[in-house]
Every structure is written in structure tokens, then in C-alpha cells.
Amino acid sequence: MKFEHFLIALLVPMGLLLIAGGAAFQHFQYWAVSQMQSSTQSTPAVLNSVTTSTIKTVSNRPLHNAQPALEKPVASAVKLEPVYVQVIERSAPKMANKAEIHATPAVVKTEPVVKTAVNPQLVETPKTLESLQQPILIAYDDAIVIEFPQSLATEQNIKRALSRVLLSPQPFDETDLLSVAPLDYKKRPALYRRVLNKQNEPIRYPRAAFRYADYLIANHQTEIEDAEGRFVRVEIPLKPSNLAEPARQFEPWVLEFADHFNVPPALVFAVMETESHFNPQAVSKSNAKGLMQIKPNAAGRDVYQYIDFKLGAPGDEELFDAQSNIRLGTAYLSLLKHDYLAEIRHADVREMVAISSYNGGMSSVLKIFGNNPVDAIENINKMNARQVYRKLRYEHASDETRRYLDKVLQAKTRYQALLGEDANVMASR
């Protein structure tokens, strides 16, 4: 047999086998597709097979007597019932009214929010508040309440959380009340003067905080039980603030930044009241913005350069944020008092010049006293406080700046009395 005949005899059967195999594979493919379509029509989607026993929506401790968080199956876009959740407004740090409001770690404001569950992988498996790893902090006007789930209610945990709240510069921003991370004890606690111990004294340092925590555990601790489980509840009584709204809502930030920048808090409140009447969105004709009327390319730029050590100037987002604006304004007052005008020897005189400079600009103020800053400060140091006051009050070119000095000094005296500090403003004019 020739080689060509042998090759043909070999290839023909192989070709027939390939053709038969292809037909069989195509038939199998049609069958598989039909089975998949049938299965899709008759079998519910995995998303819809989730039952109420595997999904539970847990809110941040709902209001008493309110509808509890409901267990619902999750669909691709199922709206759940409104639950009460924490809403933090940086521009309004006031405490909540005395309604049973709960949140972790702090409550500033609560409002009903409709949650929408979309992805089943993002929904947690069943849990109760007792399985949470944090105490629950509740802020009222006259008290702070911390509720510890039974699993966390050891004496050590309770004492640690109480002491942390008492000493924290910003207790309502604490994300872990059981943290062992050190606090900055150089900063005055936000609740300083709002919490008084048995001797009616404010609590400033750890030793006093630990002692008062023992007192609270012995005298202000109770156990409660509700639908969410068993809790140990400790109440920290608060001394009512002497400040009225709207000043009171900014008190924690004013005290924090005044302490940090070594500026009297009464002066910060006085400037804020005079500049904007406590309106965080205020804008002047000269483009000064926010609570303390910061000009971004003047006071704002100086704080960036000499306090924050960075270039540029604050933008609107920072200027209209209450906390940031108070920081900028207090820092600029500090620059005026402790840096730009540091050569003025008399503290009261230096503060008066700083107040006028805050409104009218330092160069225009110093022109009243000399042809250049060096001569002006030298002349100021030769004058008594009353003489300096009279020149600022009656000889400055701007009527607004002349009147501004009186407004701020009078407001500062009022806030010093409210804050319980000794008056240090010149009594006679």
C-alpha cells in the first residue's frame, strides 16, 4: 500500500469521530442552558432567601417606649423602619435636651433616619447591645449618664470610663471610653467647672477624677433592664452653665482653645459676641467670615504661618465651621497679645491694644502712638492704662474701632462674672 493511501485511511475515521463529538457537545450545551434557565425560574435568589433569623438591624440604643429596631429580611433595596441614630453637628456642640436619647459614644442631636439595606454582605449577623464593646454615653443638660452592658460592667471598666469622661478635653468625641491611651492633661477638661466633687471643687487631674469616680460608683450607680438587656447605669451630675444660649453651645471649644493659646475665655466670648452675635455664617462687608469674623488673607493667613507653620489661608469650609473658626480667632488673639505686641509691658494695656488691633488692624492702631511700631510701643510703655484707653477710644481714625473697644471690654466683664473668673478689666474709664 502506498503511503498516501495509508494516510487517507487513517484520517477519514478520525474526521468522522470529530464531527460526531462536536454534535454531541452542542447537544449537551443546549441541554445545560435549558437547565440553568429552568433553575433560575424555579429557585429563589440567594438575596431573597435570607430570613429574619439571620438578619437584625441594630440601632444606637433607641428611645424608651419607641418602636424597637425591627428584624426584616433583606431585599435588594428594602427600606427599614426609622431608628434613632447619632448625628454630630460640629457647628453646634450643645448638649441634647433632657429626653431619653442614646448614642455611642456621645449624643449631640438625634433625629429619625430611614436606613436602606442594599448589600446583604454589609448587614451584620444578629447581635444585641450587650455584645457591643463600648459603654453608651447619654448627655443631658444637667447630667451625663453612662450605661454599661452587663458584660462590660466591671468596676475597673466603670472607673476607667468615668475618669476618661471627667478628664477628656473633648469627652463627646471619645471613640473608646475604655481606652487606656493617655490623655493630654495639659489641656483643661471640657467638663471643668461643670462637674464638681463632694467638696464642690472642679476636677482637673487624675487623682481627683479617680476619687470622684469611686464616689459616683458608690452613690450614683443603678442597674436597669429593658428590651435591649441588662445595664449598669452611672450618672454624673452637671452644674448648670451660667452662660445662656447661644454662647453656651460653644463653651467647650472656647475653654479648650482659650486654655491652649493662653487667652482669657471671657475675651474670646466677648469678641465672638461683638463680631458676629454668635452667628457661624456671618459675613462682613470686608469679607470677614464666621463666628469671630476672620479675614482669610489677614488673620487667617497669620495663624496658618505662625501657629500652624504652613502656607496659604483658610477656605470657606474652615471659616464657616464653628470649631475651626473659634480656633483661628483665639489663635490670632494670642498672636496679638503674646507675639506682635509682646513688648508692651502692662498686661491690661497690651490687651486693649490687641482688642483694637483685632478690629482695626495693628498698623492703624500703632499709628496713634508713633510714626513707626518701635516708637509707638515705646510711647505706649510711657503711658498709664487710662491714657492708652482714651487715645484708643477717641483718637483712632475709625469710629467702628473706637466703639468696638468699649463693646468688647464691657462684654468681657460680663462673661468673666458668668464664668466665675476674677475681673481683670480696668474698672474706670
Question: What pLDDT is recorded for position 99?
Answer: 35
Residue whose C-alpha is closest to residue 351's, from 369, 366, 338: 338
Q: Are residues 320 and 205 in the same domain?
A: no
Task: Based on the fold, state whether residues 279 and 198 are members of the same structural domain.
Answer: no
Lowest mean pLDDT among 138-142, 373-377, 413-417: 138-142
pLDDT at 115: 29
Band the pLDDT of 37: cuts 50, 70, 90.
very low
Q: What angle do CA 241, 91, 173 make, to 5 degrees?
A: 75
Residues 6 or more apart in contact with residue 289 via CB below 8 angstroms: 282, 283, 295, 296, 316, 319, 320, 325
Any domain includes 62: no
pLDDT > 90? residue 63 = no
Q: Which of 410, 424, 414, 109 is nearest to 243 (CA)?
A: 414
1 found inside a domain? no
User: pLDDT class for 171, splitting at 50, 70, 90?
Assistant: confident
Shared domain for 194 and 269, answered yes or no, is no
Residues 190, 258, single domain; the answer is: no
Task: In whole angstroms, give the CA distance from residue 202 to residue 189.
Answer: 10
| Contact (CB, 8 A) for 290 and 253 | no
Structural domain for 181, as ranges = 78-237
Transcribe 317-347 into DSSP letters. HHHTSHHHHHHHHHHHHHHIIIIITTT---H
User: What is the predicted pLDDT for the residue at 379?
Assistant: 96
C-alpha distances (whole Å) from 291 to each of 249, 259, 262, 323, 406 are: 12, 19, 19, 9, 19
Q: Is residue 46 part of a domain?
A: no
User: Amino acid identity of 20?
Assistant: A
Whether residues 271 and 406 share a domain: the answer is yes
Choose the final residue of a domain: 237, 265, 297. Answer: 237
Please check whether residue 51 is in contact with residue 72, taking contact to mean a CB–CB distance below 8 angstroms.
Answer: no
Residues 332 and 300 placed together within one structural domain of the fold: yes
Residues recorded for the chain: 429
In a domain, 35, yes or no: no
25 found inside a domain: no
- Judge if 116 and 227 occupy the same domain: yes
**pLDDT given at position 31:** 53
Does 45 map to a domain?
A: no
Of the chain, the percentage scoring pLDDT greater than 70 comes to: 67
- End residue of a domain, out of 186, 210, 237: 237
Domain membership of residue 123 (yes or no) is yes
The residue among 133 and 333 whose pLDDT is bigger is: 333
- Least confident piece of the model among 121-125, 358-362, 370-374: 121-125
Write the CB contacts of 13 (distance below 8 Å, at least 6 apart in sequence): none
What tens digit of pLDDT does each residue of 313-326 get?
999 999 999 999 99
Q: How far is CA 331 from the centre of its chain?
A: 19
Q: What integer pLDDT is reported at residue 10 of this predicted model? A: 58
What pLDDT, on a 0 to 100 scale, did the predictor assign at position 86?
33
With CA atoms as reference, report the closest residue to 243 among 48, 63, 417. 417
Say if residue 311 is in the same domain as residue 345. yes
| Same domain assignment for residues 350 and 277 | yes
Euclidean distance between CA atoms 249 and 253, whole angstroms: 9
For residue range 355-365, what is the model confidence (pLDDT) as tens digits? 999 999 999 99
CATH code assigned at 339: 1.10.530.10
Mean pLDDT of 167-192: 82
Q: Does 72 or 313 have the greater pLDDT score?
A: 313
The number of folded domains in the chain is 2
Domain boundary (237, 268, 292) is at 237
User: Same domain, yes or no, for 266 and 412?
Assistant: yes
Q: Are residues 219 and 264 in the same domain?
A: no
The least confident of 16-30, 159-173, 255-269 is 16-30
Residue 351 pLDDT: 96
Stated as kind and residue range, the H or E segment containing 221 is strand 221-226
Query: What is the average pLDDT value for the chain, to the nearest integer?
Result: 74
**Is residue 293 a contact partner of residue 360, using CB atoms and an 8 Å limit?**
no
C-alpha–C-alpha distance, residues 330 and 354, integer Å: 12
Q: Are 366 and 332 in contact (CB under 8 A)?
A: no
Are 268 and 412 in contact by the 8 Å Cβ rule? The answer is no
How many alpha carbons fall within 13 Å on the CB side of residue 224?
15
Model pLDDT for residues 38-61, shown as the tens digit of each residue: 443 433 332 333 322 222 222 233
Question: Does 134 reside within a domain?
Answer: yes
Q: Do residues 279 and 232 both lie within one domain?
A: no
What local confidence, expressed as pLDDT, does residue 244 receive?
Answer: 84
Amino acid identity for residue 351 in this structure: E
